[in-house]
Structure 1
Amino acid sequence: MRITAVTCVKNEGPFLLEWIAYNRLIGVTDFLFYSNDCSDGTDALLDALAARGSVTHLPNPAKGRAYQMEALKDCAHQPVVQQADWLWIADVDEFLNIHVGDHSIPALIAACAEPQAISLNFQFFANGGVEAFEDRPVIEQFTHSHNPDVWCGETAIEVKTLTRRDFPLGYYGAHRPFLRKNTPAEARPRWCDGSGRAVPHRFLVAANPRRIRKFPARGARALATLNHYALRALDSYLVKTDRGDVNRENRAFDDTYWRERNDPAWEDRSIQRMLPALHDALAQLKADPEIARLHADCVARHLARRDALLADPAYQQMRAQLQAAAPLPPQEDAMLQRLGLA
């Protein structure tokens, strides 16, 4: 089974090897990376991996806007996607945590009885008070999240989607594929959640604009969930705010983004079952001297950028603001205020 992972990156160098190694362990066979405007060595590391046949690396085709959507339009024309049996579109801070069989994507597909798409709900992992960047696996460092059934007062939680080659595709979205226009009812795909249940009908046909990329997570995680490490260490978060993201150029993240994703109510170490194999896989990648050197260069540049930012009073203030931020998400804090309990 050929499974291709597609992702967009900008200044994700320190985290690339872990993400590649982990996804290989769960069954990904091919990788398509789109990069743009990297200043931390991400592109050099991807070029070296591409030269060894490990990944395909392309410049993002977007011109100053809509980086992810332009890349997803382009990916449909790339051989590494066209030849895949399944496509996994995800970001480098997202790890598919599979609870069945050998914890692989093929095992998940089999457990779901061979559907044409599987949408997995996010589980946002908190910073957990980790301030300093460490060059070790993210999945090892962060173990607390919101209640996986409820996020910021909502039961509907965003998803990412595995898509089979024969899906009646209109176009790929970052969170889910969209059906070909005028797809008749009898040709609609069998599409399930992380428990193998049919996704809600209105989600499948994209009938509700406010819910086209999410549905209730309660009961939807029996077979798999999607661990999202959006914050990581405080050092890395500061670098992330400086970077912006792959969708919107020069976007800054304020403390609302941080507080929404920094809810530590739930402990979940289930993904750490993969750590022994992950450590071995990382050691194998770094056994190549050039790959090890380029990874170390990415780490050094990441830390140098942190140091440069912290010389700026505005970033010093931002760091202090995040350190002092309330532990509750803004919506829960507001509810307690209304009830007079805060």
Structure 2
Amino acid sequence: MRVTAITCVKNEGPFLLEWIAFNRLIGVTDFLIYSNDCDDGTDTLLDALGAYGVVHLPNPAKGRNYQMEALKDAARQEVVRAADWVWVADVDEFLNIHVADHTIPALIAACGDPQAISLSFQFFANGGVERFEDRPVIGQFGRTHNPDLWCAESAIEVKTLVRKDFPLHYFGAHRPFFRDKLERGQRPRWTDGAGRAVPHKFLVAANPRRIRKFPAAGARDHATLNHYALRSLDSYLVKNDRGDVNREGRVFDDAYWKERNDGGWEDLSIRRHLPALEALLAEMKAGPLGDLHRTCVERHRARLDALLSQPSYAAMRDHLRALPPLPPGEAEMMAELGIEA
């Protein structure tokens, strides 16, 4: 089975090898990676990863919506057209498969071989980790929110595996879309991460507020999408400075941090992959890739030092460190009830 992962990156060098190695372990065979405006060595590292199935292209975007323009281009690329399945995800997202041998083929089989599988996000908290460390992200962060609730939301965003015969109109960052006029009998068979048919309004994108998400309760039996959106406080500051590969000028403020820093639950299940992941990373870093990776790490740390020399970033660091590890609204509710945080 040929599975192609598509992603867009900007200054993700320190985290690339882990993400590529992890995805290869779960069954991804090829990668189409678009980069834009990198100055940490990400683009150079990507150019050296051909032996691991990576096709690296500059982002073709001429407007501001980098990711959507890249996805439009991706649909024409041979590495995507030749794939049996396509997986659109970001470098901080890891597909945690719970069934059989924990691979994508096992997930597809468990879901009944549909034409699309949408997996619900699980946001992993910072967990009080301040310093960036050059070791697997999946081994550093294990605290997360109630799987069925995120802040005040029971409907949680998804990312989607897409089979080659899906009646594709275009790829979205979270889900594919088919044409509005598609007859009912031609609509794709589409499941959640428990093998259940996705809700009708999600299927046909009938509700603008729900085209990227549906209720997470019961949707994770076979797989979860672990999203390490914060990582360490150090790396979050660099991410804030970098901006967003999706939209120019987007700022990650403290609301983004607070919404994703709910550590009320623990989930360490993805660490089943750590021994094999660390072995593959050691193999990858043994040659020239290791030097390129270390360059990215050094530049990541140097950028952090430069940011912390600015009063605004030093203040941001202190502000984020002082925030209670509670989702928005919970601290206020506890204060109202006279409960100490």
Could you state the TM-score of these two structures normalised by the residue count of structure 2? Answer: 0.98
In the other structure, the counterpart of 1:39 is: 39
The one-letter amino acid paired with 1:44 is T
Maintained 8 Å contact 1:45/1:291: yes
How far off its partner does 1:283 sit? Answer: 1.0
In the other structure, the counterpart of 2:296 is: 298
State the percentage of identical aligned residues.
Answer: 72
The one-letter amino acid paired with 2:73 is D
The one-letter amino acid paired with 2:126 is N
Maintained 8 Å contact 1:93/1:230: yes
Inter-partner Cα distance in structure 2 for 1:83 and 1:335: 52
Maintained 8 Å contact 1:153/1:332: no
What are the residue-to-residue correspondences of 1:318-329 with 2, within 5 Å? Answer: 318-329=316-327
How far off its partner does 1:333 sit? Answer: 3.1
Inter-partner Cα distance in structure 2 for 1:16 and 1:74: 22
Maintained 8 Å contact 2:14/2:293: yes
Inter-partner Cα distance in structure 1 for 2:337 and 2:115: 46
How far off its partner does 1:49 sit? Answer: 1.1
How far off its partner does 1:248 sit? Answer: 1.3
In the other structure, the counterpart of 1:271 is: 270
Q: Which runs of 5+ in 1 are unaligned?
A: none
Q: Which runs of 5+ in 2 are unaligned?
A: none
In the other structure, the counterpart of 1:251 is: 250
Show CA shifts across 1:284-329 (max 9, x none): 11122x1010000000000000000000000000000000012211
The one-letter amino acid paired with 2:195 is G
In the other structure, the counterpart of 2:161 is: 162
Maintained 8 Å contact 1:64/1:249: no
How far off its partner does 1:162 sit? Answer: 0.2
- 2:329 aligns with one of 308, 328, 331: 331
The one-letter amino acid paired with 1:79 is E
- 1:308 aligns with one of 302, 306, 309: 306
Q: Are residues 1:14 and 2:11 paired?
A: no
Inter-partner Cα distance in structure 2 for 1:167 and 1:330: 38
How far off its partner does 1:339 sit? Answer: 5.7
Maintained 8 Å contact 2:126/2:233: yes
What are the residue-to-residue correspondences of 1:1-342 with 2, within 5 Å? Answer: 1-50=1-50, 52=51, 54-288=53-287, 290-336=288-334
> Match of 1:330, SS?
coil
The one-letter amino acid paired with 2:31 is F
The one-letter amino acid paired with 2:16 is L
Total equivalences in the alignment: 340
How far off its partner does 1:74 sit? Answer: 0.3
Inter-partner Cα distance in structure 1 for 2:44 and 2:303: 17
Maintained 8 Å contact 2:34/2:57: yes
Inter-partner Cα distance in structure 2 for 1:332 and 1:171: 39
The one-letter amino acid paired with 1:15 is F
Inter-partner Cα distance in structure 1 for 2:334 and 2:208: 30
Maintained 8 Å contact 2:29/2:53: no
How far off its partner does 1:334 sit? Answer: 4.1
Maintained 8 Å contact 2:110/2:195: yes
Maintained 8 Å contact 2:115/2:189: yes
